[in-house]
Amino acid sequence: MPDLRELGLTEEAAPQVDWDAPEAGKTPPPVFPGLYKLLFSLPEDKSTWFDAVERETIKGKPESKRKFLELTYTPIIVADGQGRPLANEDGTPIQMGPQRVNTYMSPKMHIHQFAELLRACGVRIEGSFLAEIEVTVAQMNNKATFDAELIWRCYFKSTDTTYSTAPRKKQGELPWPRTSDGNFELMVKNPATGESAYGYLEVARARLPQVAGEGGQ
């Protein structure tokens, strides 16, 4: 083994690093929070499309839990809020990570997340939802588009703390930090531990197509 001093290295061979940076392989979200047009897309493995999730139908009463249908989809970002096409630097589609919607409805809700997504895509199911949904989403796959509000969310397991660009205050989420000019910081730091992380890009809600003249992103 050669002596380290004999390798002829300069300081440029080992540049300074950010020791609080996220783990290798974790990258920043492909876009900033805002309104975008998405292409509805499903995972290649059909067995991962549907699942059953339990929710309390009466808050605070575990015995009221019921099962609801959940869908996992992986949408593709095709344009920004102004309709300008978007893609990765190499020209490949911007595929988002797994997103989930389900059929749970609280007493105050008139439509569940799953149906809201379908409606945003211009799809309505008039008959049995369970009987028709599998064929319906298969027909929508990589064809239907919809407008959606995208946000960043980051969860620190070490302190059970969540930061979001659209925080749900009733659930204890904290607001994402901003720069001096009002834009969102690219990373969020957990003040209790000093660890930093990027946010996970999420669909906050699917939106009905906007009428001409309405505000954009």
66 forms beta bridges with 55
**Would you report the helix, strand and coil content of the chain in percent, each value rounded to 5?**
15, 30, 55
Q: Is residue 19 part of a domain?
A: no
Q: Is residue 164 part of a domain?
A: yes
* pLDDT tens string 92-137: 999 999 999 999 999 899 999 999 999 999 999 999 999 999 999 9
Q: pLDDT band at residue 217, thresholds of 50, 70 and 90?
A: very low
Q: Which two tokens stand for residue 144?
A: 């239907």
Q: Which two tokens stand for residue 216?
A: 């954009």
Q: Is residue 37 part of a domain?
A: yes
Q: Is residue 3 part of a domain?
A: no
- By residue range, what is the domain housing residue 191? 28-207
Mean of per-residue pLDDT scores for the chain: 91
Helix (H, G, I), strand (E, B) or coil at 47: helix
Number of domains in the chain: 1
* pLDDT tens string 146-201: 999 999 999 999 999 999 999 999 999 999 999 999 999 999 999 899 999 999 99
